[in-house]
């Protein structure tokens, strides 16, 4: 159940499409995806990023196809990828056809630059023959010229119109395995565009705040925008766009869905902010523990607390935790003391207890 209560739409109302072995829409678990950030022709680098995304909890992996040599590399990538592959096509519909031949599981096309309706129809026919869905990826910064220059359209209406135009081309070709995204770098514009679209269509929505930036600004922009959209029952697959490695995008998306109780993911670390009572350097210890637990798939909560006086009690919701004392630290389980350990052994001893907990669950 969503932790928020004002869902306007129900997520099972959208059409379901299938990308490889991942369903999008129709009430399926909200999938998270990221994108390769290395040249597509560098197959081993692409596959390494794909593995990183998988380990971080990603479900889908997108790859830009800027030229024919990139399309040629897709075959090897698709063959060895642990995740379904989405080919991102701009400008040249023939690259979409080559990507389909390479076995990609989904296409993303941009209505601002993919070319004439006839070409889109050719792509739709080939995609339908392979049961490959198509995402119409509307970006406020690259709308079709006539729509972008129409002064009677607000930014939001222009984005929805660009999506509508492409949808009708696909529908006219008898193609309905459509996913749509309406993205802007402004959370407010993105929210409104998705809301307007969802009022008119039941195609599944890929949601994200584009060009969010990096670090805290990018994370907050994505978290605020995506939370408000998801809270209305909108959004079937999520991409967080950061100027950071792909697995960071997955981790942020994952945390947003986890906090909204829309998906369960692996280990979560909670740590206290510290205060004058703190007996340990939590700012040093917490990141070290996070590094060691971040890829644990089991949904457990681990606490790192600064003092034994309040730590175990304040973190009693955690499955396992450690609280720092003078020269020694205390490992606790569900808020109850377990054993004392040397301060220097905190990371290894806590990891040992986490292993034990997971094994005996
Ligand atoms: S757990 Fe202890 S050190 Fe951490 S914030 Fe609470 S009182 Fe302060």
Domain locations in the chain as residue ranges: 11-259, 268-359
CATH number of 11-259: 3.20.20.20
* Res 8: pLDDT: 72
Nearest to 245 by CA among 22, 56, 105, 59: 56
What residue owns the CA closest to ligand 1's atom 2? 307
**pLDDT (mean) for 267-281:** 94
The CATH-assigned architecture of domain 268-359 is 2-Layer Sandwich (3.30)
- Average pLDDT of the chain is 93
pLDDT at 6 over 70: no
* Res 91: pLDDT: 87
pLDDT tens for residues 43-55? 999 999 999 999 9
Q: Is 270 helix (H, G, I), strand (E, B) or coil?
A: strand
* Res 5: pLDDT: 46
Ligand 1 atom, smallest distance to 315 CA:
1
Could you tell me the pLDDT band of residue 2, with boundaries at 50, 70 and 90? very low
**pLDDT (mean) for 181-209:** 94
What residues line ligand 1, using a CB cutoff of 6 Å? 272-275, 277-278, 305-307, 310-311, 314
d(CA 56, ligand 1 centre) in Å: 30
The residues pairing with 19 across neighbouring beta strands, listed in sequence order, are 22
Sequence-separated (6 or more) residues with CB below 8 Å from residue 354: 267, 293, 296, 300, 302, 320
Q: What is the dihedral angle through the alpha carbons of 41, 42, 47, 52, rounded to the nearest 10 degrees?
A: -120
* Res 7: pLDDT: 65
d(CA 288, ligand 1 centre) in Å: 19
What is the spatial distance between Cα 268 and Cα 13, in angstroms, rounded to a whole number?
Answer: 31
pLDDT tens for residues 202-218? 999 999 998 778 889 99
**pLDDT (mean) for 157-184:** 95
**pLDDT (mean) for 140-151:** 92
What is the spatial distance between Cα 94 and Cα 74, in angstroms, rounded to a whole number?
Answer: 14
Enter the tokens of residue 151.
């002064």
pLDDT above 90 covers a percentage of the chain that reads: 85
CA atoms within 13 A on the CB side of 356: 11
Q: What is the DSSP string of 132-148?
A: --EEEEEETTS--HHHH
What pTM value is reported for the model?
Answer: 0.89
**pLDDT (mean) for 228-243:** 95
d(CA 357, ligand 1 centre) in Å: 25
pLDDT at 33 over 50: yes
* Res 175: pLDDT: 96
**pLDDT (mean) for 175-195:** 94
pLDDT tens for residues 78-131? 999 999 999 999 989 999 999 999 999 999 998 778 878 899 999 999 999 999
């Amino acid at each position: 159940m969503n932790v928020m209560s004002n869902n306007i739409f129900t997520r099972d109302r959208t059409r379901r499409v299938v990308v490889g072995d991942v369903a999008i829409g129709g009430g399926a678990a909200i999938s998270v995806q990221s994108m390769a950030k290395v040249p597509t022709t560098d197959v081993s680098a692409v596959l390494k990023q794909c593995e990183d995304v998988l380990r971080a909890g990603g479900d889908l992996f997108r790859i830009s196809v800027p030229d024919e040599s990139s399309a040629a590399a897709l075959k090897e990538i698709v063959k060895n990828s642990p995740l379904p592959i989405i080919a991102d096509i701009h400008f040249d519909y023939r690259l979409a056809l080559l990507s389909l031949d390479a076995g990609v599981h989904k296409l993303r096309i941009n209505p601002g630059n993919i070319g004439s309706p006839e070409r889109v129809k050719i792509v739709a026919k080939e995609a339908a023959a392979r049961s490959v869905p198509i995402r119409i990826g509307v970006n406020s910064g690259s709308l079709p010229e006539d729509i972008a220059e129409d002064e009677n359209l607000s930014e939001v209406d222009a984005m929805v119109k660009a999506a509508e135009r492409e949808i009708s081309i696909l529908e006219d070709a008898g193609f309905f395995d459509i996913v749509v995204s309406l993205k802007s770098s402004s959370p407010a514009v993105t929210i409104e565009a998705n809301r307007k679209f969802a009022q008119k269509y039941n195609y599944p929505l890929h949601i994200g705040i584009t060009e969010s930036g990096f670090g805290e600004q990018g994370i907050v922009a994505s978290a605020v925008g995506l939370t408000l959209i998801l809270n209305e029952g909108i959004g079937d697959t999520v991409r967080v766009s950061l100027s950071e490695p792909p697995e960071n995008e997955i981790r942020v998306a994952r945390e947003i869905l986890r906090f909204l109780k829309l998906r369960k993911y692996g280990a979560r670390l909670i740590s206290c902010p510290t205060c004058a009572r703190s007996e340990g350097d939590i700012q040093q210890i917490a990141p070290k523990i996070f590094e060691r637990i971040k890829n644990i798939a089991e949904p457990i909560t681990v606490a790192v607390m600064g003092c034994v006086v309040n730590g175990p009690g304040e973190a009693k919701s955690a499955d396992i935790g450690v609280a720092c004392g003078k020269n020694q630290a205390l490992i606790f389980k569900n808020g109850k003391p377990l054993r004392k350990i040397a301060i220097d052994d905190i990371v290894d001893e806590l990891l040992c207890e986490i292993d034990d907990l997971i094994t005996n669950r």
